Amino acid sequence: MSSAAESIAPMGVAATYFDGRTAAGTAVQLVPAGQRIEVRAGAEGAVIAEIDLARDQLFERFGFAPRQIVLVSGASVELPITVAGEAVLASAGAQPAPVARWQQRWPLVLAMLAGLLVAGVLGYLHALPRVVHWLAFQVPQPYVERLDRQVMAALERERLQPSRLSAERQAQIAERFAAAAARHAPDVRYSMVFRSMSGAAGINAFALPGGTIVVLDGLVELLGDNAVGNDRMLAVLGHELGHVAGRHSLRRLMQTTAVALGATVLWGDAAGLAANIPVLLSGLSFSRDMEREADDFSVGFLRSNGLSEAPLVGLFKEFERLNRGKEPPGFLSTHPSPKERQRRIEARSAE
Amino acid sequence: MNSAETSSSRAAYDALEPGPLRDELYPEEAAARRAEQEQQAQEHTARLAQETSEPLVFTGQGAEYFRIWIVNLALTVATLGIYSAWAKVRKTQYFWQNTQFHGHRFNYHGSPLAILRGRIIAVVLLLAYSWSFDISTTAAVIAVSVLCLVAPWLFLRAQEFKLRNTSYRGLRFGFDARAPRTYPLLFVLALLWFSATLAGLLLAQTSWVVALSLAPLLLFPWMHHSVKRLQHSRSSYGTLQTSFTNCRGAFYSTYALTAVAFVFAIAASITVAVLLALPVSAAAQAIGMEMDTQTAVITGSAFGGALAYIMVFPLAAARIQRSVWTNTTLGPLWFHTDIGAGPYFKLVLKCALWTLLTLGLYWPFASVRLARYRVECLHVKAHLHTFPDLFSSVQSSQRTVRGDAAIDLFGVDVGL
């Protein structure tokens, strides 16, 4: 083929031949013969095998590791990297695969790295949330409702106790919320239950994937049974309804799974612990975004019911007073700080 | 008799044709000659019985593997993950072709299509498994039981796929995956592995679940030893078989030591976290972040725990490697590893820190450094007389040709 190969052709290049039956190696010369390569051994140079690259497997070149050729007979040849050796292979029609060529080129590799970074950032910021959003709404309602029943069963076994609130108080909250929800988002299916939990975590309300909103006694007691407290309670429930309407729990689950999958592809082989760090941080950041989304929903919900954002802002002030100095730094938290949420709502209302 | 006389009679003896006649004529010379021969034979035997040690060499380069890693990643992303099977083959070929022993290289022959098929089946099984937990408790119990039944088979096939697709000097390695003798053991191991999950599904009381989760923890050294024994006693290279001497004691002492080290590392990191908590929370408040000492202590301890894991894991890994390889033989060969807890620990720490600092970009360099250390620590030992004829005496095992097609049908390459 090439003139370099032809000038080398008569001498051949040194290689080792393994017959595939024993591990003993034979010192051989590889001599080009047209489209084929003859494997010659011994002083007389007897041809003991023939390499035909259309039929036999030439492995990709990796740096200066010897070339490996596996013949269809099961025999194999190990050829040290030399200029002459590569010329012999080229004379028999060996061409590096595109991928093998790309791997050699720094500029191309760096361009690919840049492309990966751009794709990663864009995919994470724009594509992934959209795909997850779409996917979350494809999950059938009966399925997520069954999920809720299981989560509730587990929670009731471990942490939750029955509510101590009177039936009238429960009905009062539930009825006001039902009317308000019907006005703002009649299509969102939810169910509401009252439970209690001991400790500081008992001052809370949360939404499960299938639309179950759990209100804990601690929160009801903190807000109090008066006009301001009841409006704030409505703000909380509007926020939780926002989680339900946006299928936030499912989206968080899907997002975390996707990021975990990505991290495993990148560093998965051994670095189990390190690979979990991006998953954790991204999960937390996603969670804070969802809280902001639910806050916005709550503002809309309050407005539909003739209220302003004041109850929500008041709620954050109350929370801030409650956990003063107990907040972890922003990037380590599932919720934005009450102060940040309060400022955000006020800024948006001012617009 | 002077020396001249001795040497002349010896010369006469040597000149004669060997035989009983010569020995009768020169009895003294004959005796001396016999003694000489015996001594030579003894020396020869002693020399042959001497041990020789040959290292494995790794020639991979971080920069080279970095380029392979990036191209693999780009293609995997561009093909929505399908290329990952080809990437796996390319990566494994890179590491094996850069591993050298006795002047020759290893190679990897796994078929990307078989790996892709295996991965698709694994993903489907995994989805079905996690889905079952959402359906009902009964479905989950059935799924876990099925997994326990299937896992031993998967494990054996994965071992077989990995070794049968690895070659050296034109011969394939092998793994005896015939199940009858090993299946019951592997089934018990799988049951123990999933015992906490099963207990959580079947039992309502938390205390029982906790108790049943602790049992496998105590049995873990035994489980780990069993798996290593299986891997290191059923492998082969051509006609050479591996064998493994049990070393359960070493596994138990390693894990006991690791547990103690872990407790100390955790205690140390919590102490540091508590000592640092006050200044840190003061500093946080100074820059406007709200953080009380309790949060600072909790955050610090969490990071300390992660650090403790990074610190203790290489210690255990190095000791386990040592126990496993010094108790393995391959035909007339045995092994020695220089892997040391100290150097391995330093290396893992360096690799982890650089990988974190470069947001993961150092990972391919770290992989190469870790592979070099692990490979180059390993030495193959033999008696001096073993080597000259060793490779011509090793033959390809009989089952290879027939089994290859069956193995490539379904390439299980899960990292077990």
Which residues in A lie closer than 8 A to residue B403 (C-beta atoms)?
none
- Same structural domain, B261 and B232: yes
Ranges of H-type helices in chain A = 3-8, 83-91, 98-102, 106-122, 128-136, 141-158, 167-184, 217-223, 227-245, 248-267, 272-304, 310-322, 338-350
Q: Which has the closest alpha carbon to A337: A325, A349, A350, A351?
A: A325
- Same structural domain, B15 and B157: no
Comparing A4 with A132, the larger pLDDT belongs to: A132
Read off the pLDDT of each residue in B277-305 and give the average, rounded to a whole number: 63
pLDDT band for position B376 (cuts 50, 70, 90): very high
The confidence score (pLDDT) of residue A4 equals: 45
Which residues in B lie closer than 8 A to residue A24 (C-beta atoms)?
169, 391-392
Residue B112 has pLDDT above 50, yes or no: yes
Read off the pLDDT of each residue in B154-176 and give the average, rounded to a whole number: 91
Q: Which residues contact A198 (CB under 8 A, 6 or more apart)?
A: A161
Q: Which domain holds residue B16?
A: 1-44
Residue of A nearest to B81 (CA): A265
Q: Please provide the average confidence, as pLDDT, over all residues in chain A.
A: 84
Q: Which has the closest alpha carbon to B272: B243, B303, B242?
A: B303
pLDDT band for position B414 (cuts 50, 70, 90): very low
Comparing B60 with B137, the larger pLDDT belongs to: B60
Range in A205-214, B366-375, B404-413 with the lowest mean pLDDT:
B404-413
- Same structural domain, B66 and B194: yes
Residue B80 has pLDDT above 70, yes or no: yes
Which one of A112-121, A322-331, B11-20 scores highest in mean pLDDT? Answer: A112-121
pLDDT band for position B271 (cuts 50, 70, 90): confident
In a domain, B227, yes or no: yes
Comparing A147 with A117, the larger pLDDT belongs to: A117
In a domain, B108, yes or no: yes
Residue B170 has pLDDT above 90, yes or no: yes
Residue A271 has pLDDT above 50, yes or no: no
Which residues in B lie closer than 8 A to residue A150 (C-beta atoms)?
134
Residue of B nearest to A339 (CA): B290
Residue B256 has a CB neighbour count (10 Å cut-off) of 11
Residue B75 has pLDDT above 50, yes or no: yes
- Same structural domain, B36 and B148: no
Q: What is the sign of the dihedral through the CA atoms of B116, B118, B122 and B128? A: positive
Residue of A nearest to B292 (CA): A325
Read off the pLDDT of each residue in B18-23 and give the average, rounded to a whole number: 79
Q: Which amino acid is at B415?
A: G
Range in A337-341, B34-38, B314-318 with the lowest mean pLDDT:
A337-341
Cβ–Cβ below 8 Å for B291 and A329: yes
The confidence score (pLDDT) of residue A8 equals: 40
How many contacts, defined by CB atoms under 8 Å, are there between A and B?
151
**Interface check A52 vs B, CB under 8 A:** no
What's phi and psi for A30, nearest 5 deg? -100, 120
pLDDT band for position B5 (cuts 50, 70, 90): low
Please state the pTM of the whole predicted model: 0.78
Read off the pLDDT of each residue in A126-134 and give the average, rounded to a whole number: 90
The confidence score (pLDDT) of residue B365 equals: 96
Residue B161 has pLDDT above 50, yes or no: yes
pLDDT band for position B263 (cuts 50, 70, 90): confident
Comparing B306 with B365, the larger pLDDT belongs to: B365
Range in A44-48, A63-67, A265-269 with the lowest mean pLDDT:
A265-269
Which of A119, A269, A332 shows the shortest C-beta gap to B77?
Answer: A119
Comparing B242 with A44, the larger pLDDT belongs to: B242
The confidence score (pLDDT) of residue B237 equals: 95
Cβ–Cβ below 8 Å for A74 and B401: yes
Read off the pLDDT of each residue in B375-381 and give the average, rounded to a whole number: 94
DSSP assignments along B332-396, one per residue: TEEEEE---HHHHHHHHHHHHHHHHHTTTTTHHHHHHHHHHHHHHTEEEEEETTTHHHHHHH-B-
Q: Are the beta carbons of B161 and B126 closer than 8 angstroms?
A: no
Residue A186 has pLDDT above 50, yes or no: yes
In a domain, B415, yes or no: no
pLDDT band for position B402 (cuts 50, 70, 90): very low
**Interface check A112 vs B, CB under 8 A:** yes
In a domain, B139, yes or no: yes
Q: Are the beta carbons of B168 and B106 closer than 8 angstroms?
A: yes
Cβ–Cβ below 8 Å for B167 and A76: yes
Range in A52-56, B48-52, B145-149 with the lowest mean pLDDT:
B48-52
Query: Which run of H or of E encompasses B100?
Result: strand B99-101
DSSP assignments along A42-106, one per residue: TTTTEEEEEEETTTSEEPPP-TTSPEEEE-TTS-EEEE---HHHHHHHHHTT----HHHHHTT-H
Share of chain B above pLDDT 70, in %: 85
Read off the pLDDT of each residue in B118-144 and give the average, rounded to a whole number: 82
Q: Please provide the average confidence, as pLDDT, over all residues in chain B.
A: 83
Share of chain A above pLDDT 70, in %: 87
Residue at token pair 């269809």: A72
Which of A68, A75, A119 shows the shortest C-beta gap to B107?
Answer: A68
B216 to chain A, closest Cα gap in Å: 21
The confidence score (pLDDT) of residue A123 equals: 87
In a domain, B414, yes or no: no
What are the residue boundaries of the structural domains of chain A, listed by start? 3-94, 139-350
Comparing B146 with A7, the larger pLDDT belongs to: B146
For chain A, how many residues are written?
351
Question: Cα separation of A76 and A69, whole Å?
Answer: 5
B338-353 pLDDT tens trace: 998 889 989 988 988 8
- Same structural domain, B218 and B252: yes
Using alpha carbons, list the distances in angstroms from residue B25 to A195, B3, B6, B38, B342: 116, 19, 14, 21, 69
What's phi and psi for B235, nearest 5 deg? -90, 165
CATH 3.30.470.30 matches A3-94: no
Read off the pLDDT of each residue in A101-118 and give the average, rounded to a whole number: 94
Residue A68 has pLDDT above 90, yes or no: yes
Residue of B nearest to A147 (CA): B134
Which of A22, A266, A328 shows the shortest C-beta gap to B73?
Answer: A266
CA dihedral of residues A191, A195, A198, A203 (deg, nearest 10): 50
The confidence score (pLDDT) of residue B296 equals: 61
Question: Cα separation of B3 and B221, whole Å?
Answer: 71
In a domain, B225, yes or no: yes
Read off the pLDDT of each residue in B82-91 and give the average, rounded to a whole number: 92
The confidence score (pLDDT) of residue A157 equals: 79
Instruction: Quote the number of domains for chain B.
Output: 2
Q: Which two tokens stand for residue B217?
A: 């923890």
Question: Cα separation of A45 and B251, whole Å?
Answer: 55
Residue A211 has pLDDT above 50, yes or no: yes
- Same structural domain, B136 and B14: no
A307: three-class secondary structure by DSSP: coil
pLDDT band for position A9 (cuts 50, 70, 90): very low
The confidence score (pLDDT) of residue B123 equals: 79
- Same structural domain, B268 and B352: yes
Residue B413 has pLDDT above 70, yes or no: no
**Interface check A156 vs B, CB under 8 A:** no
Question: Cα separation of B189 and B216, whole Å?
Answer: 9
pLDDT band for position B298 (cuts 50, 70, 90): low
Q: Are the beta carbons of B56 and B378 closer than 8 angstroms?
A: yes
Question: Cα separation of B374 and B347, whole Å?
Answer: 11
Which residues, numbered 22 to 81 in chain B, qualify as contacts with chain A under a Cβ-Cβ cut-off of 8 Å? 59-61, 64, 66-68, 70-71, 73-77, 81
